[in-house]
Amino acid sequence: MDDKEKRFVDELLAASLRHYAGPEPRPGLEDRVLAGVRARQQAARRRMAWAWAVGMAAVAAMVTLLVMEWPRHQPLPLPVAAKTPTGLSTPSVAKVVSPEQPPLPHRPRRPAEASRVDMRPQQFPTPRPLSEQEKLLLAYMQSLQESSAAPASDADQDSAHDLEIPPLSIAAIKIEPLPPLGSGDEQ
Amino acid sequence: MAAMGQVILSQALLTADGKDREFEAAVREHARHVYRVAQAVLRNHHDAEDTVQETFLRFLRQQRSWAEIRNPRAWLARTAWRVALDRRRQVVAVSLEEVADVVGALRAAGASAEEMAADGQMLALVERLIASLPKELRDPLTLSTVGEMTSTDIGEMLGIPEGSVRERVSRARTVLSEKLAELLEKGHGR
């Protein structure tokens, strides 16, 4: 390769490298960059706000669930078995239990207890028609109540007659006079 | 208490406003330089503009440490360089023989070096030749094509001494010149 050829290659390379840098940016590059950066920043802020909102909603839902579920984990103060018979809607049975038993003193409910009662259904278990055995039991209890109530009054009257006491006759008390002091009995 | 809150809020707004103005000033001052760095790597206008936006977005996210950035221009150029390298696509493979034929034909027609360099085929050829260089020669040469970048700037960006930059750019030019001469001879001989 002669010098002329070598010089031409060098010139060509230098010119090519100048062109390699590429054209100048189009007018308005700065405005486009500012607008693009601000738009991307706002989009990022919106995403962050949404993430916060969703997170807070989830936390609020969890707290609400926790508050609603929390009392159910504590033991109930009232025995459940005592309430079961009343659920059968048999008022006559309830009377038979003990008519002479004094009524329980009314105890004011605590707020937590009240909320527990409120959360339950008004009647538990769900009302349903009595089974054959339940009907038989109910009939038996009613007949028992009638049979025990009627003879009780007759027996009371008979026993009142049997216990009539005749008037007592008590003899007058006779008191003999005491011997005088200093008589021959001392010897 | 309320007055103190108002003072804090107004100071925060003033600070935010000041940062915003500072950011806008940085964009207006350095956007073109950042664009040239990106363009030198990516060789594509749209990709270069996207890289500029990404670079300034990263700059904005670093606003708490702006005071620690000694040279914003160098910081931006370095960031743009890294972003562009991440985005760089594979150079489109062109047939060197075909390009050499076109360049040889142009030269036979009496075209000057400047006219030949402006041709799209010649640009594709140079791009392919630069891509074939080893990385330690390619990076300094690519950055040296960006106007306004001195050997000191390039050395700072690549983490090498200024003397090494000059030496590597010179070696890269020599390699390119040899390859180009070989191709031209082939094209001229056909």
Give the burial class of A61: count Cβ atoms within 10 A of its Cβ; 0-12 exposed, 13-18 middle, 19 or more buried. exposed
pLDDT of residue A81: 52
pLDDT of residue B180: 87
Mean pLDDT score, A50-57:
94
pLDDT of residue B13: 52
- Structural domains of chain B, with CATH: 2-87 (1.10.1740.10), 96-189 (1.10.10)
* Cβ neighbours around A70 below 10 Å, total: 9
pLDDT tens digit sequence for A122-176: 777 777 888 899 999 999 999 988 887 765 555 555 555 667 777 888 888 888 8
Chain A residue numbers with beta carbons less than 8 Å from the beta carbon of B35 are 25, 29
pLDDT of residue A187: 44
Asked whether the beta carbons of residue A12 and residue B113 sit closer than 8 angstroms, the reply is: yes
pLDDT of residue A3: 82
Asked whether the beta carbons of residue B117 and residue A18 sit closer than 8 angstroms, the reply is: yes
pLDDT tens digit sequence for A60-104: 999 999 998 876 655 556 555 544 555 445 444 444 445 555 656
Lowest mean pLDDT segment, chosen from A50-59, A131-140, A160-169, B4-13 = B4-13
pLDDT tens digit sequence for B169-190: 999 999 999 988 888 777 655 5
Chain B residue numbers with beta carbons less than 8 Å from the beta carbon of A17 are 126, 141, 145
pLDDT of residue A26: 87
Of the pLDDT bands very low, low, confident and very high (cuts 50, 70, 90), residue B160 is very high
| Position with higher pLDDT, A31 vs A76 | A31
Hey, of B19, B43, B57, which one would you mutate to test binding to chain A, going by the most A CBs within 10 A of its CB? B57
The residue behind tokens 């209890």 is A141
Mean pLDDT score, B140-164:
90
Name the residue among B37, B185, B32 with its Cα closest to residue B107.
B185
Name the residue among A91, A81, A100 with its Cα closest to residue A138.
A91
Name the residue among B97, B93, B112 with its Cα closest to residue B188.
B97
| Position with higher pLDDT, B62 vs A152 | B62
Rounded CA-CA distance B137/B144 in Å is: 11
Instruction: Answer yes or no: is pLDDT of B93 > 70.
Output: no
Asked whether the beta carbons of residue A21 and residue B146 sit closer than 8 angstroms, the reply is: yes
Asked whether the beta carbons of residue A16 and residue B117 sit closer than 8 angstroms, the reply is: yes
Mean pLDDT score, B110-125:
83
Q: What is the DSSP string of A132-145?
A: HHHHHHHHHHHHHH
Instruction: Answer yes or no: is pLDDT of B76 > 70.
Output: yes
pLDDT of residue A111: 55
A3 interfaces chain B, CB cutoff of 8 Å: no
* Residue A105 region by backbone torsions, left for phi larger than 0, else alpha for psi between -120 and 50, else beta: beta
Hey, of B29, B30, B35, which one would you mutate to test binding to chain A, going by the most A CBs within 10 A of its CB? B35
Instruction: Answer yes or no: is pLDDT of B51 > 50.
Output: yes
B53 interfaces chain A, CB cutoff of 8 Å: yes
Lowest mean pLDDT segment, chosen from A154-158, B19-23, B32-36, B132-136 = A154-158
